[in-house]
Structure 1
Amino acid sequence: MTQSVPLTPNPDNTSGGNSLPLILDTLPDVSPLPTRGILRVQQQLDLLLLAIEALRLGASEEMLAVCQSLGLQGIIHNRVDLWRLRSTNPWRKCYNRANLTPDQIKTLIVLINFCAKRLLVPLTQLLLAAQQMKDKDIPLENNFRLSEYFSRFRSHFASRMNPRRAKVSVYLASSEELNSLAFSLLEELLFFSGTRGIERLLIRLFDGEVD
Protein backbone atom coordinates (compact mmCIF):
# COMPACT_ATOMS: atom_id res chain seq x y z
CA MET A 1 0.00 0.00 0.00
CA THR A 2 1.28 3.42 -0.91
CA GLN A 3 0.03 6.71 0.36
CA SER A 4 0.84 10.37 0.21
CA VAL A 5 1.08 11.91 3.65
CA PRO A 6 2.40 15.46 4.11
CA LEU A 7 5.86 15.46 5.64
CA THR A 8 5.63 18.97 7.03
CA PRO A 9 5.82 19.03 10.82
CA ASN A 10 2.70 19.50 12.88
CA PRO A 11 2.23 23.25 13.56
CA ASP A 12 1.98 22.42 17.24
CA ASN A 13 5.42 20.81 17.11
CA THR A 14 7.47 23.93 16.60
CA SER A 15 9.32 25.21 19.60
CA GLY A 16 9.13 28.96 19.63
CA GLY A 17 7.17 28.58 16.39
CA ASN A 18 9.93 29.36 13.92
CA SER A 19 13.58 28.34 13.93
CA LEU A 20 15.15 25.00 13.13
CA PRO A 21 17.54 23.35 15.59
CA LEU A 22 21.01 24.91 15.59
CA ILE A 23 22.62 21.47 15.33
CA LEU A 24 21.35 21.16 11.75
CA ASP A 25 23.21 24.32 10.76
CA THR A 26 26.51 22.62 11.61
CA LEU A 27 25.96 20.00 8.89
CA PRO A 28 27.00 20.43 5.25
CA ASP A 29 24.30 21.71 2.93
CA VAL A 30 22.51 18.92 1.03
CA SER A 31 20.29 21.14 -1.08
CA PRO A 32 19.29 20.94 -3.79
CA LEU A 33 18.82 17.24 -3.25
CA PRO A 34 19.90 15.07 -6.19
CA THR A 35 16.79 13.68 -7.87
CA ARG A 36 18.57 10.47 -8.72
CA GLY A 37 19.13 8.27 -5.73
CA ILE A 38 16.88 10.05 -3.22
CA LEU A 39 14.79 6.90 -2.72
CA ARG A 40 17.95 4.95 -1.93
CA VAL A 41 18.88 7.60 0.65
CA GLN A 42 15.49 7.33 2.33
CA GLN A 43 15.66 3.54 2.25
CA GLN A 44 19.10 3.47 3.84
CA LEU A 45 18.14 5.87 6.64
CA ASP A 46 15.14 3.72 7.55
CA LEU A 47 17.18 0.50 7.50
CA LEU A 48 19.77 1.98 9.84
CA LEU A 49 17.00 2.95 12.25
CA LEU A 50 15.55 -0.54 11.89
CA ALA A 51 18.91 -2.00 12.93
CA ILE A 52 18.98 0.29 15.97
CA GLU A 53 15.54 -0.98 16.96
CA ALA A 54 16.74 -4.56 16.62
CA LEU A 55 19.76 -3.81 18.81
CA ARG A 56 17.87 -2.41 21.76
CA LEU A 57 14.37 -2.95 23.13
CA GLY A 58 12.56 0.35 23.55
CA ALA A 59 14.73 2.03 20.93
CA SER A 60 11.75 3.89 19.45
CA GLU A 61 11.13 5.70 22.73
CA GLU A 62 14.85 6.40 23.02
CA MET A 63 14.84 7.96 19.55
CA LEU A 64 12.15 10.38 20.62
CA ALA A 65 14.10 11.18 23.79
CA VAL A 66 17.19 11.91 21.68
CA CYS A 67 15.15 14.24 19.47
CA GLN A 68 13.93 16.10 22.53
CA SER A 69 17.40 16.39 24.05
CA LEU A 70 18.82 17.77 20.79
CA GLY A 71 15.95 20.19 20.20
CA LEU A 72 14.69 18.37 17.12
CA GLN A 73 11.01 18.39 18.16
CA GLY A 74 10.17 20.85 15.40
CA ILE A 75 10.72 18.04 12.91
CA ILE A 76 10.19 14.89 15.02
CA HIS A 77 7.85 15.58 17.90
CA ASN A 78 6.22 12.18 18.33
CA ARG A 79 5.90 8.66 16.95
CA VAL A 80 3.69 9.78 14.08
CA ASP A 81 6.26 12.30 12.85
CA LEU A 82 9.00 9.67 12.95
CA TRP A 83 6.78 7.11 11.21
CA ARG A 84 5.97 9.58 8.42
CA LEU A 85 9.63 10.23 7.74
CA ARG A 86 10.58 6.56 7.82
CA SER A 87 7.68 5.62 5.55
CA THR A 88 9.44 7.37 2.67
CA ASN A 89 11.46 4.14 2.38
CA PRO A 90 10.02 2.63 -0.85
CA TRP A 91 10.37 -0.87 0.59
CA ARG A 92 7.78 -0.11 3.28
CA LYS A 93 4.29 -1.62 3.25
CA CYS A 94 2.90 1.83 4.05
CA TYR A 95 5.05 3.72 1.60
CA ASN A 96 4.72 7.52 1.61
CA ARG A 97 5.54 8.80 -1.88
CA ALA A 98 6.65 12.24 -0.65
CA ASN A 99 10.39 12.89 -0.54
CA LEU A 100 12.25 14.04 2.54
CA THR A 101 13.43 17.64 2.71
CA PRO A 102 17.12 18.45 3.33
CA ASP A 103 16.37 19.33 6.97
CA GLN A 104 14.43 16.11 7.51
CA ILE A 105 17.31 14.09 6.07
CA LYS A 106 19.80 15.90 8.29
CA THR A 107 17.56 15.31 11.31
CA LEU A 108 17.51 11.56 10.69
CA ILE A 109 21.29 11.57 10.17
CA VAL A 110 21.82 13.32 13.51
CA LEU A 111 19.38 10.90 15.18
CA ILE A 112 21.22 7.86 13.79
CA ASN A 113 24.60 9.24 14.85
CA PHE A 114 23.54 9.95 18.44
CA CYS A 115 21.73 6.62 18.82
CA ALA A 116 24.77 4.80 17.43
CA LYS A 117 27.01 6.56 19.96
CA ARG A 118 24.79 5.30 22.75
CA LEU A 119 25.08 1.78 21.34
CA LEU A 120 28.86 1.87 20.94
CA VAL A 121 29.51 -0.83 23.56
CA PRO A 122 27.04 -3.44 22.23
CA LEU A 123 28.03 -2.63 18.64
CA THR A 124 31.69 -3.22 19.43
CA GLN A 125 30.94 -6.39 21.39
CA LEU A 126 28.81 -7.87 18.61
CA LEU A 127 31.35 -7.13 15.88
CA LEU A 128 34.21 -8.51 17.98
CA ALA A 129 32.17 -11.65 18.63
CA ALA A 130 31.46 -11.93 14.91
CA GLN A 131 35.16 -11.71 14.09
CA GLN A 132 35.96 -14.42 16.59
CA MET A 133 33.25 -16.65 15.10
CA LYS A 134 34.60 -16.07 11.59
CA ASP A 135 38.16 -16.83 12.70
CA LYS A 136 36.94 -20.17 14.03
CA ASP A 137 34.74 -20.77 10.97
CA ILE A 138 31.64 -20.95 13.15
CA PRO A 139 28.28 -19.58 11.88
CA LEU A 140 27.48 -16.18 13.35
CA GLU A 141 24.04 -17.42 14.36
CA ASN A 142 25.70 -19.69 16.91
CA ASN A 143 26.47 -16.65 19.03
CA PHE A 144 23.49 -15.98 21.28
CA ARG A 145 23.62 -12.17 21.12
CA LEU A 146 24.13 -12.08 17.36
CA SER A 147 21.35 -14.62 16.90
CA GLU A 148 19.04 -12.49 19.03
CA TYR A 149 19.85 -9.38 16.99
CA PHE A 150 19.32 -11.22 13.69
CA SER A 151 16.00 -12.60 14.92
CA ARG A 152 14.70 -9.18 15.94
CA PHE A 153 15.87 -7.61 12.69
CA ARG A 154 14.19 -10.31 10.59
CA SER A 155 10.98 -9.86 12.58
CA HIS A 156 10.98 -6.07 12.15
CA PHE A 157 11.85 -6.36 8.46
CA ALA A 158 9.13 -8.92 7.74
CA SER A 159 6.43 -6.96 9.56
CA ARG A 160 7.17 -3.61 7.94
CA MET A 161 8.49 -4.23 4.43
CA ASN A 162 6.41 -4.94 1.33
CA PRO A 163 6.97 -8.51 0.07
CA ARG A 164 5.86 -7.41 -3.40
CA ARG A 165 9.07 -5.43 -3.78
CA ALA A 166 11.53 -7.61 -5.68
CA LYS A 167 14.51 -7.06 -3.39
CA VAL A 168 12.37 -7.40 -0.26
CA SER A 169 11.03 -10.75 -1.50
CA VAL A 170 14.62 -11.95 -2.03
CA TYR A 171 15.53 -11.07 1.55
CA LEU A 172 12.36 -12.60 2.97
CA ALA A 173 13.04 -15.84 1.10
CA SER A 174 16.50 -16.23 2.62
CA SER A 175 17.39 -15.86 6.29
CA GLU A 176 21.05 -15.90 5.26
CA GLU A 177 20.59 -12.90 2.94
CA LEU A 178 18.62 -11.00 5.57
CA ASN A 179 21.19 -11.77 8.26
CA SER A 180 23.89 -10.50 5.92
CA LEU A 181 21.99 -7.23 5.48
CA ALA A 182 21.51 -6.94 9.24
CA PHE A 183 25.22 -7.53 9.84
CA SER A 184 26.28 -4.94 7.26
CA LEU A 185 24.10 -2.39 9.04
CA LEU A 186 25.89 -3.19 12.31
CA GLU A 187 29.21 -2.37 10.66
CA GLU A 188 27.82 0.87 9.25
CA LEU A 189 26.41 1.96 12.60
CA LEU A 190 29.80 1.49 14.23
CA PHE A 191 31.42 3.48 11.41
CA PHE A 192 28.88 6.28 11.86
CA SER A 193 29.18 6.38 15.65
CA GLY A 194 32.51 8.22 15.72
CA THR A 195 33.21 11.92 16.15
CA ARG A 196 32.89 12.44 12.39
CA GLY A 197 30.05 9.97 12.05
CA ILE A 198 27.56 12.55 10.84
CA GLU A 199 29.85 13.68 8.02
CA ARG A 200 30.65 10.06 7.14
CA LEU A 201 26.96 9.20 6.88
CA LEU A 202 26.26 12.25 4.74
CA ILE A 203 29.05 11.35 2.35
CA ARG A 204 28.02 7.69 2.21
CA LEU A 205 24.41 8.59 1.46
CA PHE A 206 25.19 11.06 -1.28
CA ASP A 207 28.29 9.39 -2.71
CA GLY A 208 30.46 12.46 -2.21
CA GLU A 209 28.00 14.88 -3.80
CA VAL A 210 27.59 16.91 -0.62
CA ASP A 211 29.36 20.27 -0.67
Structure 2
Amino acid sequence: MLTSPMSDAAVVVEEQAAVLKTLPDFPLSNQRCASQLQQRLDLLLLAIEALDVGSASKMLASAESLGLQSIIPHALALWRLRCTNPWRRSYNRTLLTLDQAKALTAIAHYQAKPLNVTMRQLLIAERQMRAKQLPVGTNFLLSDYLDQFRSHFSSRMNPRRAKVSVLLASEPAMDDFALGLLNQLMFCTGTIGMERLWISLFDGEVA
Protein backbone atom coordinates (compact mmCIF):
# COMPACT_ATOMS: atom_id res chain seq x y z
CA MET A 1 0.00 0.00 0.00
CA LEU A 2 1.40 3.37 -1.03
CA THR A 3 1.98 5.96 1.69
CA SER A 4 0.38 9.31 0.96
CA PRO A 5 2.76 12.28 0.87
CA MET A 6 2.79 14.66 3.81
CA SER A 7 0.42 17.60 3.53
CA ASP A 8 1.83 21.12 3.35
CA ALA A 9 0.58 21.73 6.91
CA ALA A 10 2.36 18.61 8.17
CA VAL A 11 5.60 19.69 6.51
CA VAL A 12 5.38 23.10 8.21
CA VAL A 13 4.79 21.44 11.60
CA GLU A 14 7.73 19.10 10.98
CA GLU A 15 10.07 22.00 10.10
CA GLN A 16 8.86 24.09 13.01
CA ALA A 17 9.41 21.22 15.44
CA ALA A 18 12.96 20.80 14.12
CA VAL A 19 13.82 24.47 14.76
CA LEU A 20 12.26 24.54 18.20
CA LYS A 21 13.82 21.23 19.26
CA THR A 22 17.27 22.60 18.44
CA LEU A 23 16.96 24.75 21.56
CA PRO A 24 16.72 23.03 24.95
CA ASP A 25 13.78 23.47 27.29
CA PHE A 26 14.27 24.86 30.78
CA PRO A 27 12.15 24.08 33.88
CA LEU A 28 10.44 27.43 34.29
CA SER A 29 7.38 28.24 36.38
CA ASN A 30 4.22 27.84 34.25
CA GLN A 31 6.49 27.40 31.20
CA ARG A 32 6.59 31.19 30.81
CA CYS A 33 9.66 33.36 30.36
CA ALA A 34 10.92 36.17 32.56
CA SER A 35 10.34 39.77 31.47
CA GLN A 36 14.11 40.41 31.42
CA LEU A 37 14.52 37.73 28.77
CA GLN A 38 11.73 39.27 26.70
CA GLN A 39 13.33 42.69 27.03
CA ARG A 40 16.71 41.43 25.86
CA LEU A 41 15.29 39.65 22.81
CA ASP A 42 13.39 42.74 21.70
CA LEU A 43 16.42 44.97 22.17
CA LEU A 44 18.61 42.61 20.13
CA LEU A 45 16.05 42.76 17.33
CA LEU A 46 16.02 46.56 17.69
CA ALA A 47 19.79 46.59 17.18
CA ILE A 48 19.36 44.47 14.05
CA GLU A 49 16.83 46.99 12.73
CA ALA A 50 19.35 49.77 13.32
CA LEU A 51 21.98 47.83 11.35
CA ASP A 52 19.74 46.82 8.45
CA VAL A 53 16.99 49.15 7.23
CA GLY A 54 14.99 46.34 5.60
CA SER A 55 15.27 43.91 8.49
CA ALA A 56 11.63 44.19 9.67
CA SER A 57 10.31 42.49 6.54
CA LYS A 58 13.23 40.05 6.59
CA MET A 59 12.23 38.94 10.09
CA LEU A 60 8.85 37.83 8.75
CA ALA A 61 10.56 36.07 5.85
CA SER A 62 12.80 34.26 8.33
CA ALA A 63 9.77 33.18 10.36
CA GLU A 64 8.23 31.70 7.22
CA SER A 65 11.40 29.98 6.03
CA LEU A 66 11.91 28.46 9.49
CA GLY A 67 8.35 27.13 9.54
CA LEU A 68 7.26 29.37 12.42
CA GLN A 69 4.02 30.62 10.85
CA SER A 70 1.85 29.18 13.62
CA ILE A 71 3.74 31.37 16.13
CA ILE A 72 4.43 34.39 13.90
CA PRO A 73 1.90 34.34 11.04
CA HIS A 74 2.10 38.05 10.24
CA ALA A 75 3.65 41.40 11.20
CA LEU A 76 1.10 42.12 13.91
CA ALA A 77 1.92 38.85 15.68
CA LEU A 78 5.63 39.68 15.64
CA TRP A 79 4.91 43.17 17.00
CA ARG A 80 2.81 41.73 19.83
CA LEU A 81 5.57 39.34 20.83
CA ARG A 82 8.10 42.15 20.86
CA CYS A 83 5.79 44.32 22.95
CA THR A 84 6.29 41.90 25.85
CA ASN A 85 9.43 43.99 26.49
CA PRO A 86 8.47 45.98 29.62
CA TRP A 87 10.43 48.99 28.37
CA ARG A 88 8.06 49.39 25.41
CA ARG A 89 5.57 52.26 25.17
CA SER A 90 3.06 49.63 24.03
CA TYR A 91 3.99 47.04 26.68
CA ASN A 92 1.28 44.36 26.77
CA ARG A 93 2.20 42.66 30.09
CA THR A 94 2.24 39.20 28.52
CA LEU A 95 4.84 36.54 29.32
CA LEU A 96 6.18 34.62 26.34
CA THR A 97 5.87 30.86 26.13
CA LEU A 98 9.08 28.94 25.61
CA ASP A 99 8.19 28.30 21.96
CA GLN A 100 7.52 32.01 21.36
CA ALA A 101 10.86 32.93 22.94
CA LYS A 102 12.59 30.24 20.88
CA ALA A 103 11.04 31.66 17.71
CA LEU A 104 12.36 35.16 18.46
CA THR A 105 15.78 33.72 19.32
CA ALA A 106 15.90 31.85 16.00
CA ILE A 107 14.93 35.00 14.11
CA ALA A 108 17.59 37.05 15.93
CA HIS A 109 20.23 34.47 15.02
CA TYR A 110 19.26 34.16 11.36
CA GLN A 111 18.99 37.93 10.95
CA ALA A 112 22.30 38.64 12.70
CA LYS A 113 24.35 36.01 10.88
CA PRO A 114 24.55 37.82 7.48
CA LEU A 115 25.47 41.03 9.33
CA ASN A 116 28.56 39.45 10.92
CA VAL A 117 31.08 41.35 8.77
CA THR A 118 29.31 44.67 9.31
CA MET A 119 29.18 44.16 13.07
CA ARG A 120 32.83 43.13 13.18
CA GLN A 121 33.82 46.32 11.32
CA LEU A 122 31.81 48.44 13.74
CA LEU A 123 33.31 46.81 16.82
CA ILE A 124 36.83 47.19 15.43
CA ALA A 125 36.07 50.87 14.79
CA GLU A 126 34.81 51.18 18.37
CA ARG A 127 38.05 49.79 19.79
CA GLN A 128 40.09 52.15 17.63
CA MET A 129 38.11 55.19 18.77
CA ARG A 130 38.37 54.23 22.42
CA ALA A 131 42.11 53.64 22.05
CA LYS A 132 42.38 57.21 20.75
CA GLN A 133 40.08 58.42 23.56
CA LEU A 134 37.64 59.86 21.04
CA PRO A 135 33.80 59.76 21.15
CA VAL A 136 32.65 56.64 19.30
CA GLY A 137 29.89 58.62 17.59
CA THR A 138 32.40 60.67 15.64
CA ASN A 139 33.43 57.62 13.59
CA PHE A 140 31.57 57.55 10.26
CA LEU A 141 31.14 53.75 10.40
CA LEU A 142 29.53 53.95 13.81
CA SER A 143 27.50 57.12 13.51
CA ASP A 144 24.80 55.67 11.23
CA TYR A 145 24.20 52.67 13.46
CA LEU A 146 24.18 54.74 16.65
CA ASP A 147 21.85 57.36 15.16
CA GLN A 148 19.45 54.71 13.87
CA PHE A 149 19.45 52.87 17.18
CA ARG A 150 18.82 56.07 19.13
CA SER A 151 15.92 56.94 16.81
CA HIS A 152 14.30 53.50 17.16
CA PHE A 153 14.87 53.40 20.90
CA SER A 154 13.45 56.86 21.62
CA SER A 155 10.36 56.30 19.46
CA ARG A 156 9.47 52.87 20.87
CA MET A 157 10.57 52.84 24.51
CA ASN A 158 8.70 54.38 27.43
CA PRO A 159 10.61 57.40 28.82
CA ARG A 160 8.85 56.92 32.16
CA ARG A 161 10.91 53.81 32.75
CA ALA A 162 13.89 54.77 34.93
CA LYS A 163 16.57 53.01 32.85
CA VAL A 164 15.07 54.27 29.60
CA SER A 165 15.09 57.87 30.85
CA VAL A 166 18.73 57.52 31.92
CA LEU A 167 19.72 56.27 28.47
CA LEU A 168 17.73 58.96 26.68
CA ALA A 169 19.37 61.66 28.81
CA SER A 170 22.93 60.59 28.06
CA GLU A 171 24.32 60.17 24.55
CA PRO A 172 27.49 58.36 25.76
CA ALA A 173 25.36 55.97 27.84
CA MET A 174 23.09 55.29 24.86
CA ASP A 175 26.11 54.69 22.61
CA ASP A 176 27.61 52.23 25.11
CA PHE A 177 24.27 50.44 25.40
CA ALA A 178 23.84 50.15 21.62
CA LEU A 179 27.40 48.85 21.20
CA GLY A 180 26.87 46.36 24.02
CA LEU A 181 23.97 44.91 22.04
CA LEU A 182 26.26 44.61 19.02
CA ASN A 183 28.68 42.52 21.07
CA GLN A 184 25.79 40.28 22.14
CA LEU A 185 24.68 39.88 18.53
CA MET A 186 28.20 38.88 17.49
CA PHE A 187 27.99 36.21 20.18
CA CYS A 188 25.07 34.56 18.38
CA THR A 189 26.38 34.54 14.79
CA GLY A 190 28.68 31.51 15.00
CA THR A 191 28.03 27.88 14.09
CA ILE A 192 26.14 27.17 17.33
CA GLY A 193 25.31 30.81 17.90
CA MET A 194 21.57 30.27 18.22
CA GLU A 195 22.02 27.71 20.98
CA ARG A 196 24.59 29.88 22.78
CA LEU A 197 22.28 32.89 22.67
CA TRP A 198 19.32 30.85 23.92
CA ILE A 199 21.25 29.44 26.88
CA SER A 200 22.67 32.87 27.76
CA LEU A 201 19.15 34.28 27.98
CA PHE A 202 18.43 31.99 30.92
CA ASP A 203 21.48 32.79 33.03
CA GLY A 204 20.08 33.14 36.54
CA GLU A 205 16.50 32.63 35.31
CA VAL A 206 16.07 28.86 35.62
CA ALA A 207 13.88 28.00 38.60
TM-score (norm 2): 0.88
Counterpart for residue 198 of structure 1: 194
Please tell me whether residue 103 in structure 1 is matched to residue 96 in structure 2. no
- Relative to its length, the structure with more helix (as a share) is 2
Which of these residues, 168, 175, 179, is aligned with residue 175 of structure 2?
179
- Letter paired with 2:187: F
In 2, distance between residues paired with 1:195 and 1:36? 27
Mapping of residues 55-204 of structure 1, within 5 Å? 55-204=51-200
Q: Are the equivalent residues in 2 in contact too, given 1:116–1:189 (CA < 8 A)?
A: yes
Q: Are the equivalent residues in 1 in contact too, given 2:46–2:152 (CA < 8 A)?
A: yes
In 1, distance between residues paired with 2:27 and 2:101? 10
Q: Are the equivalent residues in 2 in contact too, given 1:52–1:115 (CA < 8 A)?
A: yes
Structure 1, residues 165-188: CA drift from partner, whole Å, max 9, x if none? 111111111111111110000011
Higher mean Cα deviation, 29-38 or 50-59? 29-38
Q: Are the equivalent residues in 2 in contact too, given 1:63–1:111 (CA < 8 A)?
A: yes
Structure 1 residues not aligned, in runs of 5+: 1-14
In 1, distance between residues paired with 2:33 and 2:132? 39
Higher mean Cα deviation, 133-142 or 81-90? 133-142
Q: Are the equivalent residues in 2 in contact too, given 1:31–1:102 (CA < 8 A)?
A: no
SS of 1:95's equivalent in the other structure is coil
SS of 2:9's equivalent in the other structure is coil
- Letter paired with 2:191: T
In 2, distance between residues paired with 1:189 and 1:82? 19
Structure 2 residues not aligned, in runs of 5+: 1-7
Counterpart for residue 3 of structure 2: none
Q: Root-mean-square deviation (CA), in Å?
A: 2.2
Instruction: Please report how far the alpha carbon of residue 99 of structure 1 lies from its aligned counterpart in structure 2 after TM superposition.
Output: 0.5
Which of these residues, 27, 34, 38, is aligned with residue 38 of structure 1?
34
Identity of aligned residues (%): 53
In 1, distance between residues paired with 2:193 and 2:68? 18
Instruction: Please report how far the alpha carbon of residue 136 of structure 1 lies from its aligned counterpart in structure 2 after TM superposition.
Output: 2.2
Instruction: Please report how far the alpha carbon of residue 126 of structure 1 lies from its aligned counterpart in structure 2 after TM superposition.
Output: 0.7
- Letter paired with 1:123: M
TM-score (norm 1): 0.86
- Letter paired with 2:142: L
Q: Are the equivalent residues in 1 in contact too, given 2:136–2:175 (CA < 8 A)?
A: no
SS of 1:67's equivalent in the other structure is helix
